[in-house]
Amino acid sequence: MPEKLPEVWRRLVLDLLSRGLGPMEVARRSGVSKSYIYRLHHSLGGVYRPVGVTYSDRYLDRDERYELVRLKDAGHSLREIGRRMGRAASTISRELARNRDPRTDEYQPERAHALAWQRQRRPKASKLSRHPALRAVVQELLGKRYSPDQIAGRLRLLHPGDHPDNEAMRISHESIYQSLYVYPRGELTRELKAGLRRGQVTRRRRGSKSQTRGKIPGAISIHDRPEDVEPRLIPGHHEGDLIKGSLASNSAVGTIVERTTGYLTLLHLPHGYGADRVADAVTEQMTALPDWFTKTLTWDRGSEMSKHASITEQTGIQVYFADPYKPWQRGTNENTNGLIREYLPKGTDLSVHTAADLAAIADELNDRPRKRLGYHTPREMFATLLIDDQRRVATTP
């Protein structure tokens, strides 16, 4: 439980968090230290009750819960607290017992308010705890590093054929998150959290960091790239970059992602990431793909791509370069690199991973459903394109 803070400031912080602002932005607006806000954020599991939501007057509201803790801290008895608040002493006793944090044995008014809101919205056991078959599927997909959103979408995509009228085999991503963070239930929570690919104890936002890159001779800017690349309507346009290991190991792995399907290719660089080695690895991997699937490659401005002219000469793939310090121009690749880091953590020696290891990682990510693909997988989308191309060739005179 975070240290005491004047009530007016605590309320301000929680109101800002409940509006969806991140802890860093809340710290800037409120003037409260970032460390305090992060501790408060974690103590509530990153889930907040929406501002202004009220139910029957028979329930304590948010103001009453803050008044309860104020009177309790002042040393008043439960009977006296009830008298001052106009509530029965038994009501105060039940409130404290029901919403006490089992981890700290403290009563936290904001946490109590969030829990009460959840009970009022859904006064029954969670869907995962009531349906073992659904729970088993969710656990299995978490074990495959699917996110709750990917799990919910994949269940809608797969199970209508197997269970067309079985609503028990459907669940929203929010229900999965609530089971993990708001309504912890012993082994259920421990088992499910063990499968979360980030292993985090709160719901939190992710950000990206810019990277330092050098100058590339003869680089062609992303702004000269064909206009049909941006809409993702035509396959064959890729984004690439390196993810690097520890400084001592001087190791790296190349990542290339196709924009339309999200299909991932990893480059094995066991002998370093000099420009010649990167060019050879890109050429080897991209020539293994169909010609219609390898039109352009957009790379970050790393010196490892200074031999881009050689790649174009040998493969016909035109290489373009994003602007310095603008990783969002290669958003598909940046997001995929975040997923790859779950397997290849920062600060580790990446040279220990064999080509077979990297192929296994790429296979797992290519078999993971994506929301923007209608919860199909990159491999499924690539396979569909292959079939379409074969039909086109077969019908061409």
Please report where in the chains the tokens 């010609």 appear, as a residue. Answer: 291
- Residue 289 DSSP label: S
What pLDDT, on the 0 to 100 scale, is given for residue 213?
A: 44
Give me the pLDDT at residue 9, please: 73
d(CA 371, CA 173): 12
Q: Give pLDDT, residue 110.
A: 77
Domain boundaries, given as residue ranges, for the chain: 7-121, 127-195, 222-391
Residues (pLDDT < 50) of the chain are 1-2, 186-187, 205-213
d(CA 13, CA 322): 38
Per DSSP, what are the bridge partners of residue 237? 296
**Are 365 and 261 contacting, i.e. CB atoms less than 8 angstroms apart?**
no
The two structure tokens encoding residue 86: 């106009």
DSSP 296: E
The two tokens of residue 26 are 């809340």
**How far is the C-alpha of 155 from the C-alpha of 252, rounded, in Å?**
36
The answer to whether residues 305 and 320 touch, using CB atoms and an 8 Å cutoff, is no
pLDDT in tens, 305-325: 999 999 999 999 999 999 988
Beta bridge partners of 252: 244
pLDDT of residue 197: 56
d(CA 31, CA 336): 35
The secondary structure of 161-201 as a DSSP string is HH-TT-GGG---HHHHHHHHHTS--THHHHHHHHH-SS--S
Count CA within 13 A, CB hemisphere, residue 224. 8
Pick the closest to residue 229 from 365, 330, 302 (CA basis).
330
Distance CA 63, CA 8 (A): 12
For the record, the structure tokens of 222 come out as 């992303």
The pLDDT assigned to 332 comes to 93
Look up tokens 């409130």; give the residue. Answer: 95
Q: What is the pLDDT of residues 50-85, one digit of tens each?
A: 555 555 667 788 788 888 988 988 899 999 999 999
**What is residue 191's predicted lDDT score, i.e. its pLDDT?**
58
Query: Exposed, middle or buried by CB within 10 Å (0-12, 13-18, 19+), for 183?
Result: buried
Instruction: Indicate yes or no: pTM above 0.75.
Output: no
Check residue 363 and give its pLDDT: 96
Give the Cα separation of 59 and 377 in Å (integer): 46
**Minimal CA–CA distance to 351: which of 277, 256, 262, 240?**
277
Residue 309 dihedral angles phi and psi, to the nearest 5°: -65, -35
Going by C-alpha positions, the residue among 231, 241, 132, 107 that lies closest to residue 191 is 132
Task: Answer for the pair 343, 361: CB distance below 8 angstroms, yes or no.
Answer: yes
222-391: CATH architecture: 2-Layer Sandwich (3.30)
Contact 260, 246 (CB under 8 A): no
Rounded distance, CA 193 to CA 138, Å?
11
Q: What does residue 242 show for φ and ψ, rounded to 5 degrees?
A: -110, 145
